[in-house]
Amino acid sequence: MIWLWGLITIFVSLLILYHLYKAFSSRKMVDNIGSRYVVISGCDTGFGNLLSKRLDIMGMNVISGCLTVDGAKKLKDECSVRLRTIILDVTDEISVQKAVAIVRRDLPQNTGLWGLVNNAGVMPHFAPMEMLTVEDFKAACKVNLFGAISMTLNFLPLIRQGRGRVVNVCSIVATTAYPGLSNYCISKTGLKTFSTCIRRELYRSGVTVHTINPGGFKTNITNQKRLESIFRESFDKCSEDLKSFYGGRIAKRIIYGIGVVDTQVSFKPHLVSDAMVHALLSRSPQRDYIVGYDARFFFRPISILPDIISDLLFSWPAPYGERVL
C-alpha cells in the first residue's frame, strides 16, 4: 500500500511541476517582434480591430484586412504608419489572392509570414433551424469556414517559409451546440475541425495552429437589437405552419432569451485579443484558448456532460408541438 501512495505522490508532484513550468514558460515572448509580420482578417470592428491596434503598439508589422474602405481608413488613422490596411473579402478568391500578392511584395526578401489570424466571421441568423434555408447555412459557412480555409491555403506557403503560426477564431459553440445558432455552430465546428486537421498535417513543418474559442462578448455580432431583428425577419418569412408551431409564447420567450443573453455577455473584449496575442507571440502557446467566464464555467462543463442532460438544459425555450406515439 505504501508503494501506491508513493506513486500517487510522484504523479501529483510531476503534474504540479508541469503546470508551473507551463505557466512560467508561457509568459516568455518570442524575440524580434519588430521584424515579424502578421495578417489579420475582419479588422473593420471587433476583435480583429482590437488586435491590430494592440500589435501595432507592440511594434509588430501588421497587415489588417478590412471589408470596407471606411473601416480601413478609420483603422489606419488610429494606428502608426507601420500598420498597413488592405481591402479583403475572404469569400472572394480573387480578393484573397490579391492580398497574398500585396503581402508577398511587402515582405522583406527571404522573409516569410509569422502569423495569420483568421478572424473574419458572421452570425447571420438567430432562429430555430426550421426557419432557415439551405442558403442560410451556406451564408454562415461561406465566411466562417470556407473564408478561413481559403485564407489559410493561399497564405500557407508564406507561413511555411516563416515557420509561423495560424490562429483561427472559432467559438465555444464549436464544442457546445447552442439552439437558435445552428448555422453558426456548424460553421465554427467545421473551422475547429479544419484547424485540428491542418495542425496535425503540419506538425513537423515548424508551423503551429491555434484556435481561439470565445464565449459571449459585447460586439456588433451579439447586439441585442440586431439579434431581435434577424429573429423577427426569419419568423416573418416562415410558413403559417411554422408560425403556429413556434409563435406566441415561444416567440416571446426567444425574444426574452435574447435580452437575457445581452445582459450576460462580457464587456471585456480585450480578453480575446489577449489570447490572440499569446497565441501569436508566446514561446509556449496553447493549442486551444477558452476565453470568457461563460465559456469556461458554463459551456465547457456542459460539453462533457451526457447528452441526455445537456439536451434538457438547452431545451428551453422550445415548442412542445404535437407528440405522436
Radius of gyration of the chain (CA): 22
CA distances from 272 to 46, 144, 185, 216 (A): 10, 17, 19, 11
For residue 253, give the 3-state DSSP assignment: helix
* Residue 184 is a catalytic residue: yes
DSSP sequence for 4-48: HHHHHHHHHHHHHHHHHHHHHHTTPBPS-GGG-EEEES--SSHHH
List the catalytic residue out of 18, 37, 178, 184. Answer: 184
Residue 245: closest CA among 311, 177, 181, 323: 323
User: Looking at the DSSP assignment, which residues form a beta bridge with residue 84?
Assistant: 63
Q: List Cβ neighbours of 154 (8 Å cut-off, separation of 6 or more).
A: 96, 97, 99, 100
Catalytic site residues?
Answer: 184
